[in-house]
């Protein structure tokens, strides 16, 4: 072993979590290095090359407002964009874009390469050095020791990676990139509790073997919404996606070959994601369903590969080909890359503080799938938070702890470190009790100032946001006073939208409160020039239409915040607090919550225990 360079922050892994962690730490002024097994796998998309989706789109918008890069990369490389759930309320509107896989990798690799204070190194980290409970640095396979103040583990599915395809299995990370095997032993020696999880990916197939004419076409949105409010790229839908379905023959072939599935034969020990099951798992668990939907989506503009979303599998390659050819439009399909399952090692997130630092090892952080989550977006936001907090630790600053009331990021991290998880965690809108407040459209209002205060959002960007906010408020004030007369074209528009015409002048804002009517509908009927862009108009509409609901949820948040503001000392010994039940003492000592609110969300801590804690706090913390 020889001594190499010294860094403030070292990031192990350059997937979606690692990229965000490294960029954040370097941009905050720390000398940073990010290690990757292969420079060709930086920001790789081994699963579907898309960013966003239900709740995931909100995560990306929040990350962008805190100064992260994923939203910019998605805007720069997307080939189709759709806002999901338009037919439902704004709480579940979520942006999803199909990205060009290679261009996304190239964009993010370039972002890393061009960032000051940041070095990118192709090397396998095999050991993490710790002394007296404090991280010292890392050792590579080639025997180099790099000292560091903080180390962030973002190993994704490469840590102990093992590929399964039917009866065949072998050590590997995604896309046949070498797995990282030695680091697991090092972590175990440090006392980190290692778990075994599993995920999977579908086959990639050749475009020429697909009959799109018999599939349902899925075009992009007419009006494209970017992930970044300050987007500077030309936004254009360049491809179409398609939908087709499995059938009785598909299901029969899969069921007839379950004995060849490593999942059902017991060869896979890792726990898989409940909300993203393999096709064989879907057919077994949902045997009453006559068909399952799959999405046929391009991998990029310069490749003939297509991705079959919804068809991940670990069945043998010959079985995959056989069942795929029973599906409408895929009768002559050619597989370019077979589907596979992958097992990997991860930590127990209950061992982490909400800063994502390990409780027992100062300066060691975890992020992404290493923390038991699934998905690029969940990984990226954790990487950003870990990178921010590693940099703040180097500078002697208190950690940034995102909270549930202001972000899905806070919800995700709070769920991980207070509730833990027994399977890969996926963010969904239903996980937040405040989802009407945590909308796609208002991420700037919630988080941009925080991003500026942290140091990752420029004053110029924040000033531009304030100008947009002023435009919205001015227009809301104007339409509150502006009357709309019962003109023929106005009533024609109202009736075409399925709502009643007006017989006298009505305030613009009152018409806008009708659920069927939008700002641009009224403006167009009046023959006026819009004063707001479509995106700003959507913000104004939601704030007006849902004003009462938003007020109610805001009051609830303020009430709950009183419990969040009651801080608990991290070194509290709960076994000495009289009145707590035995289970509560054990759980509280295990989790070490930072507030009464966080304590209340721990499984096994009931309202009576919270009352005891409140009395203990108010009574001067006497045992």
- 555 in a structural domain: no
Domain end, chosen from 498, 514, 548, is at 548
Radius of gyration of the chain (CA): 26
pLDDT by residue (tens digit) across 405-417? 999 999 999 999 9
HSE-up of residue 582 (Cα within 13 Å, Cβ side): 0
Q: What sign does the dihedral 528-532-533-535 (CA atoms) show?
A: negative
Retrieve residue 381's tokens: 């936001």
Quote the pLDDT of residue 257.
96
- Mean predicted confidence (pLDDT) in 370-377: 96
Mean local confidence (pLDDT), 542-568: 89
3-state DSSP call for residue 401? coil
Given this model, what pLDDT does residue 620 score?
A: 62
With cut-offs at 50, 70 and 90, classify the pLDDT of residue 541.
very high
**Same domain assignment for residues 9 and 72:** yes
Considering the domain architecture, whether residues 150 and 212 belong to the same structural domain is answered as no
CATH number of the domain at 503, please: 1.10.10.1800
Domain-located, residue 56: yes
**CATH for 129:** 3.50.50.60
pLDDT at 227: 94
HSE (CB half, 13 Å, CA atoms) of 311?
A: 33
Stretch 41-50: mean pLDDT? 93
Q: Which residues contact 58 (CB under 8 A, 6 or more apart)?
A: 94, 408, 429, 438, 439, 440, 443
Together in a domain, 180 and 44: yes
Is the CB of residue 484 less than 8 Å from the CB of residue 505? Answer: yes
Sequence-ordered list of residues with C-beta below 8 angstroms from that of 551, at least 6 positions apart, any chain = none
Q: Is the same domain home to 223 and 333?
A: yes
Give the pLDDT of residue 390: 98
Return the half-sphere exposure (C-beta side, CA atoms, 13 A cut-off) of residue 308: 39
Q: What is the CATH number of the domain that holds 227?
A: 2.40.30.260
Q: Quick one: pLDDT band at residue 623, thresholds 50, 70, 90?
A: very low
Boundary residue ending a domain (341, 364, 394): 341
Report how many domains make up the chain: 4
Measured CA to CA, the distance from residue 134 to residue 126 in angstroms comes to 18
- Same-domain check for residues 532 and 579: no
Q: Are residues 281 and 391 in the same domain?
A: no
Q: Tell me: the pLDDT tens digits for 453-486?
A: 999 999 999 999 999 999 999 999 999 999 999 9
Is the residue at 420 inside a domain?
yes
315 contacts 166 by C-beta, under 8 angstroms = yes
Q: Clarify whether residues 368 and 326 are in a common domain.
A: no
- Span 326-346, average pLDDT: 97
Same domain, 259 and 177: no
For residue 558, being part of any structural domain is answered with no
Residue 182 — pLDDT band, cuts 50, 70, 90? very high
* pLDDT averaged over every residue in the chain: 94
Q: Is 194 inside a domain boundary?
A: yes
CATH number at residue 601: 1.10.150.570
CB distance 418 to 403 below 8 Å: no
425 assigned to some structural domain: yes
In this structure, is residue 623 part of a structural domain?
A: no
Q: Both 370 and 426 in a single domain?
A: yes
**Range name among 19-33, 139-153, 179-193, 272-286 with the lowest pLDDT average:** 272-286
For the cut 80, the answer to whether the pLDDT of residue 78 exceeds it is yes
Residue 501 phi, psi (nearest 5): -70, 170
For residues 61 and 269, which has the higher predicted lDDT (pLDDT)? 61
Q: Are residues 126 and 152 in the same domain?
A: yes
CA neighbor of 560 nearest in space, from 403, 410, 360, 387 = 403
In the chain, % of residues over pLDDT 70: 99
Confidence of residue 307 (pLDDT cuts 50, 70, 90): very high
On the question of pLDDT at 622 being above 60, the answer is no
Band of pLDDT at residue 82, cut at 50, 70 and 90? very high
Alpha-carbon separation of residue 293 from 215, 284, 309, 311, 562 (angstroms): 11, 15, 9, 9, 45
Q: What is the mean pLDDT of residues 214-228?
A: 95
Chosen domain end from 439, 454, 469: 454
Please indicate whether residue 569 or residue 457 has the higher confidence score (pLDDT): 457
- Give domain status of residue 377, yes or no: yes
Instruction: Give the pairing of strands 144-153 and 2-12.
Output: parallel
Query: What predicted TM-score, i.e. pTM, was given to this entire model?
Result: 0.94
pLDDT at 95 (0 to 100): 96
Count of residues making up the chain: 623
Separation between Cα atoms, residue 83 and residue 80, nearest integer Å: 11
Give the range of the structural domain holding residue 498, as residue numbers without chain letter: 461-548
Q: What is the pLDDT of residue 47?
A: 85
Provide, rounded to the nearest whole percent, the portion of the chain with pLDDT above 90. Answer: 83
> How confident is the model at residue 621, as a pLDDT?
59
User: Do 466 and 382 share a structural domain?
Assistant: no
Same domain, 210 and 262: yes
Cα separation of 148 and 136, whole Å?
A: 6
Cβ atoms of 244 and 215 within 8 Å: the answer is: yes
Per-residue pLDDT, averaged over 16-45, amounts to 98
> In this model, does residue 13 exceed pLDDT 80?
yes
């Amino acid at each position: 072993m020889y001594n190499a360079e010294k860094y403030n922050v070292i990031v192990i892994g350059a997937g979606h979590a690692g990229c965000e962690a490294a960029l954040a730490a370097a941009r905050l002024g720390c000398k940073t290095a990010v290690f990757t097994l292969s420079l060709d796998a930086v920001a790789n998309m081994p699963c579907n090359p898309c960013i966003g989706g239900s709740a995931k789109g909100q995560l990306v918008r929040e990350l962008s407002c805190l100064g992260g890069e994923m939203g910019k990369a998605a805007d720069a490389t997307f080939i189709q964009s759709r806002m999901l759930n338009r037919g439902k309320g704004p709480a579940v509107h979520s942006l999803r874009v199909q990205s060009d896989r290679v261009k996304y990798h190239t964009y993010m690799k370039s972002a890393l390469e061009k960032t000051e204070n940041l070095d990118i190194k192709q090397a396998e980290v095999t050991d993490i050095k710790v002394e007296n409970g404090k991280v010292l640095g890392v050792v590579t396979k080639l025997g180099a020791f790099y000292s560091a103040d903080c180390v962030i583990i973002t190993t994704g599915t490469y840590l102990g990676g093992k590929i399964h395809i039917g009866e065949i299995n072998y050590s590997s990370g995604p896309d046949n990139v070498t797995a990282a095997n030695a680091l697991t032993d090092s972590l175990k020696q440090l006392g980190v509790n290692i778990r075994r999880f599993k995920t999977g990916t579908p086959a990639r197939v050749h475009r020429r073997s697909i009959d799109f004419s018999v599939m349902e076409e899925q075009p992009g949105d007419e009006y494209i919404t970017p992930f970044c409010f300050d987007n500077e790229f030309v936004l254009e839908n360049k491809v179409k996606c398609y939908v087709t379905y499995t059938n009785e023959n598909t299901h029969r072939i899969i069921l007839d070959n379950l004995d060849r599935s490593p999942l059902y034969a017991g060869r896979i020990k890792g726990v898989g994601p409940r909300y993203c099951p393999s096709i064989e798992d879907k057919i077994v668990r949902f045997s009453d369903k006559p068909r399952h939907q799959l999405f046929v989506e391009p991998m990029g503009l310069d490749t003939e590969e297509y991705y079959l979303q919804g068809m991940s599998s670990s069945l043998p390659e010959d079985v995959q080909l056989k069942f795929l050819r029973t599906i409408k439009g895929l009768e002559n399909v050619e597989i370019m890359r077979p589907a596979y399952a992958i097992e990997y090692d991860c930590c127990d997130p209950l061992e982490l503080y909400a800063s994502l630092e390990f409780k027992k090892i100062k300066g060691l952080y975890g992020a992404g799938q290493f923390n038991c989550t699934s998905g690029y977006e969940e990984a990226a936001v954790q990487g950003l938070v870990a990178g921010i907090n590693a940099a703040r630790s180097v500078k002697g600053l208190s950690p940034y702890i995102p909270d549930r009331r202001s972000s899905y990021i806070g919800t995700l991290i709070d769920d991980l470190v207070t509730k833990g998880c027994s399977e890969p965690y996926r963010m969904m809108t239903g996980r937040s009790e405040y989802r009407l407040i945590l909308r796609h459209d208002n991420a700037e209002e919630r988080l941009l100032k925080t991003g500026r205060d942290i140091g990752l959002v420029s004053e110029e960007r924040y000033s531009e946001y304030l100008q947009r906010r002023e435009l919205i408020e001015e227009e809301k004030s104007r339409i509150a006073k502006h009357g709309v007369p019962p003109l023929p074209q106005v009533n024609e528009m109202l009736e075409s939208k399925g709502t009643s015409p007006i017989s006298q002048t009505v305030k613009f804002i009152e018409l806008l409160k009708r659920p069927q009517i939008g700002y641009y509908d009224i403006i167009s009927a009046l023959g006026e020039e819009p004063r707001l862009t479509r995106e700003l108009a959507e913000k104004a509409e939601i704030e007006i239409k849902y004003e009462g609901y938003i007020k109610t949820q805001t009051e609830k948040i303020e009430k709950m915040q009183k419990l969040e503001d009651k801080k608990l000392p991290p070194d509290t010994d709960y076994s000495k607090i009289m009145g707590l039940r035995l289970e509560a003492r054990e759980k509280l000592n295990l989790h070490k919550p930072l507030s009464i609110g966080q304590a209340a969300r721990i499984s096994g801590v009931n309202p009576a225990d919270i009352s005891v804690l409140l009395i203990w706090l108010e009574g001067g913390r006497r045992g």
